[in-house]
Amino acid sequence: MRDVYLVGAGQSDFGAFPQETYRSLFAAAYEDALDSVAGDLGAADVDEAFVGNLGVGGRQIGLAGPAVTEHVGLDGTPTTRIENACAAGGSAIRHGVQAIRSGMADVVLAGGVEVMTDLSGDVTRYWLGVSGETEWERLSGTTFAGVYAQMASAHMAEHGTTREQLSHVAVKNHRHGSMNPHAQLGFECSLEDAENAPVVADPLTLYHCCPTTDGAAVAFLASEDVVDEFADHRVRVAGSGAGTAPVGLFERDTYTSIPASRDAAEMAYEEAGVGPGDLDFAEVHDCFAIAELLAYGDLGFCDPGEAGEFVASGATELDGDVAVNTSGGLKSKGHPIGATGVGQAVEAFEQLTGHAGDRQVEGARYGLAHNVGGSGGAATVHIFERDDGGVST
Q: How many residues appear in the chain?
A: 393
Radius of gyration of the chain (CA): 19
- Residues serving a catalytic function are 86, 335
Q: What is d(CA 25, CA 5) in angstroms, rounded to the nearest whole number? A: 25
Q: Are 195 and 357 in contact (CB under 8 A)?
A: no
My answer on whether omega of the bond before 181 falls inside 30° of 0, hence cis, is: no
Q: How far is Cα 341 from Cα 381, in angstroms, rounded to an integer?
A: 9
- Beta strand extents in 212-287 (DSSP E only): 215-223, 235-244, 281-283
Of residues 11, 8, 356, 31, the one with CA closest to residue 182? 11
Task: Report in angstroms the alpha-carbon separations of 218 from 257, 356, 372.
Answer: 30, 17, 18
Which of 356, 339, 351 is CA-nearest to residue 386? 351
Count other Cβ atoms within 10 Å, centred on residue 292: 29
Amino acid at 384: F
What's the CA gap between 239 and 372, in Å, rounded? 17
CB 337 within 8 A of CB 64: no
Would you say 111 and 339 are in contact if contact means Cβ atoms under 8 Å apart? yes
CB-based burial of residue 358 (10 Å sphere; 0-12 exposed, 13-18 middle, 19+ buried)? exposed
Pairing between β-strand 215-223 and β-strand 204-205 as defined by DSSP bridges: unpaired
Q: Taking a C-beta distance cutoff of 8 angstroms, is the pair 5, 237 a contact?
A: yes
Half-sphere exposure in the Cβ direction for 66 (13 Å, CA)? 8
- Helix or strand holding residue 293 (H, E): helix 289-298
Give the residue from 71, 43, 66 showing the smallest Cα distance to 53. 66
